[in-house]
Amino acid sequence: MRTELRLVRLVRPYWGLLAAGLAVTFLASVLDGFVLVVLIPLLKNLFGTAGELNAGSTQLEAWVDWMVQPLVAGLPPAQAAGRLVVVLAAGLLIKNAFAYLSNQITVRAQEGLVRDLRTRLFDHLLTLDLGYFQRTRPGQVISAMMSEADQTKTVITASLVALFRNVVVLLVTLVVLSQISMRLTLFTLAFVPLLVILLQRLIRRLRVHARARSKERGEVTATVTERIGAMRLIRSYGEEARESAGFDAQTSRYRKQAIRTQRFSSLTSPITEVFSGFLVILIIWAATRPDLLGLEAPLAPATIIVFLMAALRLTSPLKTISGFPAVMALALASAERVFQVLDEPSAEVDRPGEGEARFERRIVFDRVSFRYGDGEPVLRDISFTIPRGKVVALVGPSGAGKTTLADLLPRFHDPSAGQILLDDVPLTRLRRRSIRALMGVVSQDTLLLNTTVLANIAYGSAGASRDRIEAAAEAANAAGFIRQLPQGFDTVLGERGTRLSGGQRQRIAIARALLRDSPILILDEATSSLDTESERLVQQAIDRLMRERTVLVIAHRLATVRDADEIVVLEEGRMVQQGTHDELSRAGGLYRRLHDLQFREDEAAVGARAR
């Protein structure tokens, strides 16, 4: 019941709305019974029958007479029947108006629930450790937020309201039936446990298959999301046919699982239908057996007609009530997928006692080690200091741990051992938001949003004026190409900024960092993978950005860090050298080997261009 109880807690803000919906639903269901009861005097007047419906129905007869006698008193049968038809039509109209109102109230509640659930999911995603997004396919997250969250609403709102409505209809109908003949009603109900047993066996199987279908749907969504982002790669390597075949196999697996799920889900309706049909036959047979019902004579034809109509009214509520577990099984399977995401532990949570960050003197890495989860350490016992206003570079082969080390500074992760101090205060005692407010980040993989150039530069600097934004673009060597775009600074860049070249995206990112004007700057491979002209423009912008700032630079191209105040050399997660460019060049070792290798590669590239 854990999943069900969590869903009930989510619907608390909508108790009032749901209560109103249930009240209107109750009125609609009672009117449904009223319409049924009005048929009794209508049939009597149409067929000219007199007296009680049968010996066991005096209470119902008295109740009906009390309701309709003021409407038909003193009228001939034909006129009385006409008036009752008007009453019947009015009852139907009002009942359906209430049903429509109930539906609208329910929609407001269920869509509000889905909105809240999606917002909660999104807010929770913002607090998760970055490692979660590295080990989880984006499509799985999207599926949970969209498809699964939407499916979840049926368990609390639409299905529960429908269940309530049909339970009321069922109870009202049973009251009418019991007043006609208690024995015949009990005879009818004696077969209900058989239906319940059959459905319970179906539900157990259905829930297993519903979970599997939900997982497969997430996999399909994940594949589509991933492959759309890799469309250039797919076409470049001519992998269209293989990707098509792989996706066809995946969707076929989902199809098979959906068919298995639907096989059990669809059985609930025909089982209920067959059950209802056999029940009608048994009612007709029993109604003609006065000895079975304890009556002196068989029920009158009008009585049997009313009882059958009332009994047939049970079919729809029974279908809905019996189908409710199937709907619940599907919705709960989706809810479990949603809660799997919500149950991921939050990393971005401020703890009691954490203070505001300030930076006046230095940043110290003190015997820092780090590992992802239970894996092997990727950083081991690293110590160095970055004085305010100085530039420190991290260099080393790919996989040495440079980016991981830089990610510890804005607390994207916390060290597994050791500590990082900001003005002698451990980062773990400072709020993440206040730490990051001191930092600007420009990385190799520049992320731009599907919005205007102006909004992309102003991201993280809410309230910045247009003049300041354009000045930042000028300083980043970006204003020239921005003004050549169709709408200039108001041009929408498209998802991930694909309308721009790599160098242009980098300059937008530098403009963003300039506008933020943070005292600490992290540059992660900011000039890699650029052509010569783009690199020159980006490097000029970076030079302006670095002025009077404390900078941590990550670079493969050692030529870009010659002027750093200190260079830290990493290899396999360890700090193997430390010093200035000249000191490290004289000392030999890994730095000298990397420098000489790149120097020869650069000479070869220049010679190749000359030829």
Q: Amino acid identity of 333?
A: A
- Percent of the chain scoring above 90 in pLDDT: 10
**pLDDT value, residue 382:** 93
Ordered alpha helix ranges (H), 418-488? 432-436, 453-457, 466-475, 479-483
- DSSP, res 128: B
DSSP codes of every residue in 34-57: HHHHHHHHHHHHHHT--S-S-TT-
Euclidean distance between the first and the last CA atom of the chain, given in angstroms as a whole number = 75
The strand pair at 391-395 and 439-443 is best described as unpaired
The answer on pLDDT for 461 being more than 90 is no
Across 186-193, average pLDDT: 74
Question: In the numeric block, which tokens belong to residue 251?
Answer: 């969707």
| Most confident among 41-45, 163-167, 178-182, 477-481 (mean pLDDT) | 477-481
How far is Cα 326 from Cα 297, in angstroms, rounded to an integer? 43
Summarize the confidence of residues 399-417 as an average pLDDT.
89
CATH of domain 2-342: 1.20.1560.10
Question: Dihedral through CA 219, CA 224, CA 225, CA 228, nearest 10?
Answer: 160
In angstroms, the CA 313 to CA 320 distance is 12
Packing angle between helix 502-516 and helix 466-475, nearest 10 degrees?
Answer: 130
Q: What angle do CA 526, 363, 417 make, to 5 degrees?
A: 95
Nearest-angstrom CA–CA distance, 3 and 333: 9
Strand order in the sheet with 377-387: 377-387, 362-371, 417-422, 425-426
CA dist., res. 544 & res. 559, Å (int): 18
Q: Is the pLDDT of residue 516 over 80?
A: yes
Name the band, by pLDDT with cuts 50, 70 and 90, for residue 497.
Answer: low
CA–CA dist 310, 290 (Å, integer): 20
Task: Judge whether residue 552 has pLDDT over 80.
Answer: yes
The amino acid sitting at 527 is T
Residue 467: C-alpha distances to residues 450, 461, 464 (Å)? 22, 13, 8
CA angle 453, 410, 362 (to 5 degrees): 115
- Tokens for 320, please give them: 């809905």
Strand partners, 386: 363
Mean pLDDT of 306-320: 71
Tokens in use for 235? Answer: 């076409």
Task: Dig out the tokens for 522 from the structure.
Answer: 């992290």
> Rounded to an integer, what is the distance from CA 569 to the centroid of its chain?
43
Instruction: Name the β-bridge partners of 195.
Output: none
Left if phi > 0, otherwise alpha if psi is -120 to 50, otherwise beta: which for 441?
Answer: beta
- The Cα 326–Cα 286 span in angstroms is 32
* pLDDT of 505 strictly over 80: yes
Q: Are 443 and 524 in contact (CB under 8 A)?
A: yes
Model confidence pLDDT, tens digit, residues 22-76? 888 888 877 877 776 676 666 666 665 544 434 344 455 566 666 666 776 667 7
Q: Among candidates 199, 196, 252, which has minimal Cα distance to 223?
A: 252
C-alpha 281/C-alpha 274 separation (Å) is: 11
Instruction: Answer for the pair 425, 438: CB distance below 8 angstroms, yes or no.
Output: no
Span 596-606, mean pLDDT? 59
Give the pLDDT of residue 386: 93
Read off the tokens for 313.
């009214």
- Average pLDDT, integer, range 91-100: 85
Q: Is 470 a residue whose pLDDT tops 50?
A: yes
Domain boundaries, given as residue ranges, for the chain = 2-342
Segment among 161-165, 474-478, 519-523 with least mean pLDDT: 161-165
pLDDT at position 233: 66
Q: Distance from CA of residue 258 to its chain's centroid?
A: 21
Instruction: List the structure tokens of 497.
Output: 């900024």
Full-prediction pTM beyond 0.85? Answer: no
Per-residue pLDDT reduced to its tens digit, 426-449 = 998 998 888 988 988 888 777 787
CA-closest candidate to residue 143, choices 66, 82, 69, 220: 220
**Rounded Cα–Cα distance for residues 583 and 604 (Å):** 26
**The pLDDT of residue 392:** 92
Q: Quote the CA–CA distance of 392 and 401 in Å, as a whole number.
A: 15
**pLDDT at position 309 over 50:** yes
**Residues 6+ away with beta carbon under 8 Å from 21:** 102, 105, 106, 109, 161
AA letter at 466: R
The structure tokens 């050791």 sit at: 418
List, in sequence order, the alpha helices (H) in 288-347: 290-293, 301-313, 315-342
Q: How many CB atoms lie within 10 A of CB 233?
A: 10
| pLDDT of residue 308 exceeding 90 | no
Average of pLDDT values for 240-256?
Answer: 84
Pairing of strands 574-579, 566-571: antiparallel
pLDDT for 605: 47
Average pLDDT estimate for 168-193: 76
Residue pair 477/527 in contact by the 8 Å Cβ criterion: no
CA 68 to chain centre: 54
